[in-house]
Amino acid sequence: MPEALLERSEPAFGGEYCFGSEDEDNWRAHLPARRSVFGSVEYAKICEQFRECTSQLYVLKSEHGSICSPLLLRPVADLPFATDCTGMWDAATPDFTGPLAQGDVQSLIAGYRRNRSQFIRKLGIVSEFAHLHPWEEAQAFLGNGCAHNRDIIWVDVSLSPDWLFREHFEHAARKNIGKAQREGVKISTRTDDSALQDFYRIYLGTMLRNGAQRRYFFSLEFFREIRDRLPDNSRFVFAEHGGAIAAATLYMHDDRDVYSFLGGADTEFNHLRPTNLIVWETICWAHDAGKKRLILGGGFRPKDGIYQFKATFSPLRSPFHVYRKIHLPDEYALLDARCRAFHQLKDEHVDYFPSYRNAAH
């Protein structure tokens, strides 16, 4: 863990704080799982265990509000061409986070940009990549560096499920839900070890079949940790037919939002449309639980089959933005040059950020 972070684990000045994952009480006090499941200290600990990173929560607050930024730090020195770069890092964020504001934060925005930028550079963070929450208006806090990535699909689960079924669902979604029900597909939620093994089998098979990137190949232990650390903020939903698991989806949720996180289906049962019934049951559950949105997300590629499937449940779209920022330009340029030399790249365009992680991600 960076020493500079430990030095600032107490109030630095005014209302500026930084907490590590070992400081669970303070992290929860500023950003509990009910406010942001992906920004929680519980999820941060899971990331540390399975993404080989160090997690931190940067906070700027006043008596009227606060801005919290969860960060996942990776040491640059773990790159084979940068072993001499001890004390340098790159930063990412958990999904659907970035800066998370609460209360009246208008008076904090200018100070947030200035203080956080100084803090980031002091830590030796070379570059930063963030997945921004679509409804948090993070661009106002971050300034330049935000870019539209894609549109995501969401369902307004504050509305009646019956109304959504009639007015928002496309004909294909209504037909496929009816088919699954007529064919006797049953929905259940379970978290016992046997259920998680079934989930993992379905999930792994789906990732292999789709040729998913390496970073999506989570282990069974990853899902166990989600169950054990976030029992009140995770929901494993199964579609069963004839005693066999046909499909499964893991949903993460906080007070406002339900996120379709990870899942898959057994192709042998595709004709029964089990995933359609999972989504429908989740919409009904989310409405009854008082949630605001079910975030279905997008696809692997623009307008691909996954996107088209999700689109049958809702006409609502929201722009999803990412944030890319080079904080130490000279160090970034050096690492980029070393990466190109190591991988024998010349003038080839590298569509990856940070570029020096190319071929190592």
Domains of the chain, by residue range, sit at 3-143+328-357, 152-319
- For 37, the token pair is 């499941």
For residues 78 and 87, give the distance between their C-alpha atoms in angstroms, rounded to a whole number.
Answer: 11
Distances, alpha carbon 143 to alpha carbons 67, 99, 113, 117, 298, in Å: 15, 12, 8, 11, 25
Residue 244 near residue 215 (C-beta atoms within 8 A)? no
pLDDT of 3: 52
In angstroms, the first-to-last Cα distance of the chain is 21
- Residue-level pLDDT at 290: 98
Among candidate residues 84, 87, 60, 59, the one with its CA nearest the CA of residue 73: 87
Q: With contact defined as beta carbons under 8 Å apart, do 283 and 296 qualify?
A: no
Across the strands, what pairs with 170? none
| pLDDT tens per residue across all 361 residues of the chain | 665 443 443 433 348 899 999 999 999 999 999 999 999 999 999 999 999 899 999 999 998 899 999 999 999 999 999 999 999 999 999 999 999 999 999 889 988 988 998 999 999 999 999 999 999 988 888 988 999 999 999 999 999 999 999 999 999 999 999 999 999 999 999 999 999 999 999 999 999 998 877 888 999 999 999 999 999 999 999 999 999 999 999 999 999 999 999 999 999 999 999 999 999 999 999 999 999 999 999 877 777 888 999 999 999 999 999 999 999 999 999 999 999 999 998 887 888 999 999 864 4
Q: Residue 200 gets which letter from DSSP?
A: H
Cα distance between residue 227 and residue 211, in whole Å: 26
Six-digit token string for 200: 């993992």
Picking from 33, 30, 78, 35, the residue whose alpha carbon sits closest to that of residue 54 is 78
Could you check whether 3-143+328-357 and 152-319 share the same CATH topology? yes
Residue 6 has a pLDDT of 38
How many Cβ atoms sit within 10 Å of the Cβ of residue 109?
17
Preceding omega of 354 cis (within 30 degrees of 0) = yes
Is CATH 3.10.20.30 correct for 3-143+328-357?
no
pLDDT at 216: 83
At residue 8, the pLDDT reads 43
Per CATH, domain 152-319 is 3.40.630.30: yes
Output the six-digit token pair for 81.
Answer: 């061409």
pTM of the full predicted structure?
0.93
Tokens of 34: 């009910």
Q: Which two three-digit tokens encode residue 190?
A: 């379970």
Contact (Cβ atoms closer than 8 angstroms) between residue 98 and residue 324: no
The answer to whether 6 and 75 are in contact (CB under 8 A) is: no
Residue 213 pLDDT = 79
